[in-house]
Amino acid sequence: MTSAADRIFCAVDTTELDAAQALCRQLAGLVGGVKLGLEFFVAHGPAGVRAVIGEDGPPLFLDLKLHDIPNTVAGGVRAALPLKPAFMTIHTSGGPAMMRAAVEAAAQAGVQRPKILGVTVLTSMDDGDLESVGQRTPVAEQVVRLATVAKASGLDGVICSPNEVAAIRRACGPDFVLMVPGIRPAWAAKGDQKRVMTPAEALAAGADHLVIGRPITGEADPAAAARRIVEEIDG
């Protein structure tokens, strides 16, 4: 059975290579993997990722949220394969052809291929934000629509707010991977996330993996914070 710790990916959102390396050392064995995103990747590229993860480091969630024409997104996925990410992200709003191209590119890695996850609606957005860009569909409906298209296009799962986990699980079934940011323990500040839930609540709703950043990385003792989150889940 997968432990609570194994289901957590720590979001290492920094441009400081030394800080990222130190954080990964502190969290070794306490979380299931590390998420490195656009901020870090633009600053340090593939070499920086290798410096943080190492040869036998934790599973990598490479969160670049690729969004371009199908050929370009496929090329981006292929370029990342040597890093052996466990998960990669693309935007579902790029459409079915783009999503299929990403899946086909990932398949070139064979059994070690990354799972391709689709970004639905960013967790910093609410109904008002969607309406401001011309999408008058409520967030919950838009998320389920995009998740359904993602599944039909061959994606392994989606990134979604904890508030949409149950609806996506009903629409897409038990084997569709749900990677969930917007996780805030009861004792942590919400920050800029508008659609949040505690770790235990998100897992109970049907999340497969939790992305947790500032409640761990913003604490004076990240290792202690990670242990506290696991205890909260298990409690």
Structure letter (DSSP) for residue 197: B
Place of tokens 């290579």: 17
| Catalytic annotation, residues | 65
Backbone angles phi, psi at 227, to 5 degrees: -60, -40
Q: Measure the N-to-C terminal CA separation of the chain; round to a whole number of Å.
A: 17
Side-chain-facing half-sphere of 145: CA atoms under 13 Å: 10
Distances in Å between the alpha carbon of 204 and those of 35, 148, 168, 201, 213? 22, 21, 14, 5, 20
